[in-house]
């Protein structure tokens, strides 16, 4: 009788281990397209990603680079102060999107142009994504917002 209980216990533990491995593999498989790594323009130009790789790029919209085409087509350049990457986007830009403002775009780098599928812009006068701030600091061009411009915490 002890031997039967021991076999059952081993079977239950083995079945639980197989279920755990299978569920972990399924979760990993489902998330493979949902993870987008952030890169600054300097990183993109130093090590260009494969054309099939989806990633995020962030920095400042370069002054004088914003060109609106027909319909919802927009071309501009994003910079971190050390490098500049041209961006092509078809869609509706956020209301706060403008030159010399922080942005983060999701898309692919194809033939020297970042083809964005999504563009995010800062949401108030003092916010900029942490990754963008870090990239700008690394290039030595980050300017902290003035204390007068900061939004008081509530």
Which neighbouring-strand residues pair with 57? 39, 105
My answer on whether 131 and 58 are in the same domain is yes
**How far is residue 57's CA from residue 33's CA, in Å, rounded to a whole number?**
17
Shortest CA distance to 136 belongs to which of 43, 72, 34, 51?
A: 43
Global confidence as pTM: 0.63
Q: Is residue 115 part of a domain?
A: yes
My answer on whether 6 and 63 are in the same domain is no
Q: How many CB atoms within 10 Å of residue 136?
A: 22
For the chain, what percent of residues have pLDDT higher than 70? 83
**How far is residue 100's CA from residue 49's CA, in Å, rounded to a whole number?**
25
Task: Indicate if the pLDDT at residue 13 is higher than 90.
Answer: yes
Q: Which residues contact 107 (CB under 8 A, 6 or more apart)?
A: 54, 55, 57, 89, 114, 115, 116, 117, 118
My answer on whether 93 and 26 are in the same domain is no
My answer on whether 4 and 64 are in the same domain is no
Task: Indicate if the pLDDT at residue 88 is higher than 90.
Answer: yes
My answer on whether 31 and 45 are in the same domain is no
My answer on whether 90 and 134 are in the same domain is yes
CATH number at residue 50: 2.40.50.140
My answer on whether 80 and 47 are in the same domain is yes
pLDDT at 132 (0 to 100)? 74
My answer on whether 103 and 41 are in the same domain is yes
Q: Is residue 151 part of a domain?
A: no
Q: Is residue 147 part of a domain?
A: no
> Which residue segment(s) compose the domain that 93 sits in?
37-139
My answer on whether 121 and 77 are in the same domain is yes
Q: Write out pLDDT tens, residues 42-67.
A: 999 999 988 888 899 988 899 899 88
Q: Is residue 76 part of a domain?
A: yes
Q: Write out pLDDT tens, residues 118-129.
A: 998 865 556 666
* Total domains in the fold of the chain: 2
């Amino acid at each position: 009788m002890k031997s039967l209980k021991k076999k059952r216990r081993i079977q239950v533990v083995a079945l639980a281990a197989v279920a755990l491995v299978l569920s972990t593999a399924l979760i990993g498989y489902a998330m493979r397209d949902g993870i987008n790594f952030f890169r600054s323009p300097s990183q993109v130009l130093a090590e260009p990603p494969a054309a099939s790789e989806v990633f995020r790029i962030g920095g400042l919209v370069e002054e004088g680079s914003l060109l609106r085409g027909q319909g919802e087509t927009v071309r501009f350049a994003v910079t971190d102060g050390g490098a500049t990457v041209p961006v092509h986007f078809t869609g509706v830009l956020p209301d706060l999107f403008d030159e010399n403002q922080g942005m983060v775009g999701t898309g692919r780098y194809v033939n020297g142009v970042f083809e964005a599928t999504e563009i995010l812009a800062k949401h108030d006068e003092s916010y900029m994504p942490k990754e963008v701030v870090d990239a700008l600091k690394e290039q030595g061009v980050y300017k902290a917002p003035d204390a007068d411009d900061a939004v008081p915490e509530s």
